[in-house]
Structure 1
């Protein structure tokens, strides 16, 4: 058996699947907010958290939506996480009643930065890897640490050879 590159053990997520999984995450979060079951605001972690956050905000009727931008990846290489755009801290405060949404927790570097900035926020991701799943309070699907998730915004439709060749 040959060693696989990180992208060779891939989990391909279609727009349809992402929509279903984001709605499943919304169902898990429904009624769980500290404001009589409601969430005061939602913060999407850009860029991956924006699509699921849009779906969750719609499903849970959350009208106050902001973003936080944290850069830690350069293509498929992860480095130190740094905030490049913070949410409106006057509005978001320490995170009490705030739902933070991302597509995936992988190494946890991004969420560690978010947790320091918003210590009372509820962090939820659509997908979680074992190394850092304890950094999120709610997620939908766990994938193995060595799986690379291909999100629909990263893909183009094209023919793929079957596993057994022609």
Structure 2
């Protein structure tokens, strides 16, 4: 299936993602005392692990929401696994002291669903697109809305053609 944003591809290597996730942790280190992390699966798993290590957070919970169904468009959202009520109730029952981590905020629809569960949590992503920026409290890198981010877990080792056709060959 051809991706309409293929011309604006943003490939992210493991090294780059690790560096950006550590930068997120550094930025979050001055934002408060964190009692727990809720990561949005699947993309939030890796940055949540890195942030948890860097900030010494031991309680990590997941919320499982399916949204991208065909890699071209965002379908309807479905909560597959909700957040454990023990994490929601850590402080005030609304998520105070909880970090919500994801790899990317695109349209903000996924974060909106989670914000309904944890309205007072702090929302952080590694990457952000303009439409989703209002839904996130902290992020590292903003890319244009029509850019497709290729995360390291989505890629294999293969030749990448140059941007200019004159460079090829």
Structure 2 length as normaliser, TM-score? 0.90
Deviation, 1:57, is 0.2
Structure 2 stretches of 5 or more lacking a match? none
Alpha-carbon distance in 2 for matches of 1:60, 1:112: 25
CA distance in 1, matches of 2:132, 2:159: 34
Q: 1:64 corresponds to which residue?
A: 59
Provide the rounded CA distance (Å) in 2 between the counterparts of 1:14 and 1:152. 5
For residues 13 and 74 of structure 1, what CA distance do their matches in structure 2 show?
A: 21
- Say if 2:61 and 2:87, in contact at 8 Å, map to a contact too: no
Alpha-carbon separation, structure 1, partners of 2:102 and 2:150 = 15
> Any idea what SS the aligned residue of 2:38 has?
strand
State how far apart, in whole Å, the 2-side matches of 1:121 and 1:75 are: 30
| Count of residue correspondences | 159
Task: Kindly indicate whether the alpha-carbon contact (under 8 Å) linking 1:10 and 1:148 is maintained by their aligned counterparts in 2.
Answer: yes
CA distance in 2, matches of 1:80, 1:98: 26
Q: Deviations over 1:29-52 (max 9, x none)?
A: 00312xxxx201000100000000
Aligned to 2:87: 91
Aligned to 1:125: 125
Q: Distance in 1 between matches of 2:123 and 2:129?
A: 14
- The 2-side partners of 1:161 and 1:32 are apart by 41
- Partner of residue 134, structure 1: 134
Q: Partner of 1:81 in structure 2?
A: 77
Distance (whole Å) between structure 1 residues aligned to residue 81 and residue 6 of structure 2: 28
What CA distance in whole angstroms lies between the structure 2 residues aligned with 1:78 and 1:65? 26
- TM superposition outliers: structure 1 runs of 4+ over 2 Å: 90-93, 160-164
User: Deviation per CA, 1:72-92, whole angstroms, max 9, x where unpaired?
Assistant: 111312111121101211222
Give the TM-score of the pair, scaled to structure 1: 0.92
**Offset, 1:18:** 0.3
For 1:91 and 1:158, the matched residues in 2 are separated by: 42
> Once superposed, what is the RMSD of the aligned Cα atoms?
1.2
